[in-house]
Amino acid sequence: MGLAVGLGNISDPLRISGALRESECAARRALSMCRELTDLLHEAVSLYLLGLTLAARGASSEALVSLQRSLRMLTVQENEQGEGVVRALLAQRALWIGDAAAARGLANRAWQLAAVHQVKRDFIRAERLQGAAGLALHDLATAVGRLQDALSHAREVNAVDEELPALAALAELRRKQGELKAARELLDDVWELAERGPYPLFHADALNVLAQIERDAAQTDPSRRDAAVEAATKAYRLAWCDGPPFAYHWGLEAARAHLKALGAPEPTDLPPYDESKYEPMPEVEINPPDEFGRAAE
């Protein structure tokens, strides 16, 4: 069982570091082992780790199946802390696909469940997602409060993986308010941390916000166009990861949209995904027809 737990433990940092192919492989291997051992708790954990990686690379339907199965398993086990984590991950998926209303409901429930066991990171994740959902819904008053809380609390416990997306979301909020200088200053806190990690997914998101800031500035100062192109191009390169289909889909698509709007070319020197470089992906059914199996809703 130790190997399966270890594989699950490395799937998350692999995803955060941009190794999406290896992250998915580790989660699938862990899932297969947990099934063989009939370990329902760690099967549920493997499923939500797999679901988040699938969602990050744009396999949204498959991610939903994985996350919902995990949620059903944790609910049956009355594992409220785990249920809160999965609802938060479902909120992140909802934000990626543009369903901010669903994200808000899921994030609010994740916040409620975080209170059961008082796990600090669960509170931080939930409040950041509440803020991000508020931002997407143009509820800026809610967004600023929740995002500032998330940033402050993340810094208290050195949760850089929550600090960086909170900074990027706050910068986007200031951009929407027309405060471009304040938005840039928030992003200035991202660059060193993102490179040191490295955290290419969060870095790409922040650069995409910067690209939009510079596009806004270029409306009155055309010389800012070059800065927008530079930011979008760097975001594109960082989001490439292992190459599609194992790229950070949402960062790549945002960067592609910026470059198109700017009339700039996409990078052509990035290596395509090469399956031969990796061990075979484990074959494991995500949602087998058992008592937990149900079609995605």
Task: For 94-117, write each residue's pLDDT tens digit.
Answer: 999 999 999 999 999 999 999 999
User: What's the mean pLDDT when you consider all of the chain?
Assistant: 95
Domain boundary among the residues 77, 107, 129 is at 77
User: Please, is 168 exposed, middle or buried when counting C-beta atoms within 10 Å of its C-beta (0-12, 13-18, 19+)?
Assistant: buried
User: Each residue of 192-220: pLDDT tens digit?
Assistant: 999 998 999 999 999 999 999 999 999 99
Domain that holds residue 229: 197-272
Q: What is the pLDDT confidence band of residue 160, given thresholds at 50, 70 and 90? A: very high
Give the total number of structural domains in the chain: 3
With a cut of 80, say whether residue 135 has pLDDT above it. yes
Least confident of 17-26, 200-209, 213-222, 285-294: 285-294
- Please give the model's pTM, rounded to 2 decimal places: 0.95
How many Å apart are CA 139 and CA 167, to the nearest integer? 17
Q: Is residue 52 part of a domain?
A: yes
Mean pLDDT confidence for 124-135:
98
Q: What is the pLDDT confidence band of residue 291, given thresholds at 50, 70 and 90? A: confident
Q: Is residue 188 part of a domain?
A: no
At residue 289, the pLDDT reads 86
At residue 239, the pLDDT reads 98
Tell me if the bond preceding 198 is cis, omega within 30° of 0: yes
> In the chain, pLDDT over 90 holds for what percent of residues?
92
Q: Is residue 1 part of a domain?
A: no
Q: Are 184 and 210 in contact (CB under 8 A)?
A: yes
| Together in a domain, 69 and 20 | yes
Question: Torsion-angle region of residue 247: left (phi > 0), alpha (psi -120 to 50) or beta?
Answer: beta
Q: Is residue 101 part of a domain?
A: no
Domain boundary among the residues 109, 139, 159 is at 159
At residue 3, the pLDDT reads 62
The DSSP string of 167-198 is HHHHHHHHHHTT-HHHHHHHHHTTHHHHHHTT
| Together in a domain, 66 and 128 | no
Closest by CA to 282, choosing from 79, 35, 12, 14, is 35
With a cut of 60, say whether residue 38 has pLDDT above it. yes
> In the chain, pLDDT over 70 holds for what percent of residues?
96
At residue 297, the pLDDT reads 43
User: Each residue of 181-195: pLDDT tens digit?
Assistant: 999 999 999 999 999
CA angle, corner 214, sides to 95 and 94, nearest 5?
5
| Together in a domain, 201 and 264 | yes
Q: Is residue 251 part of a domain?
A: yes
Q: What is the pLDDT confidence band of residue 293, given thresholds at 50, 70 and 90? A: confident
Residue type present at position 78: E
Q: Is residue 83 part of a domain?
A: no
Q: Is residue 110 part of a domain?
A: no
User: Each residue of 235-266: pLDDT tens digit?
Assistant: 999 999 999 999 999 999 999 999 999 999 99
| Together in a domain, 155 and 201 | no
Q: What is the pLDDT confidence band of residue 296, given thresholds at 50, 70 and 90? A: very low
Q: Is residue 24 part of a domain?
A: yes
Q: Are 198 and 164 in contact (CB under 8 A)?
A: no
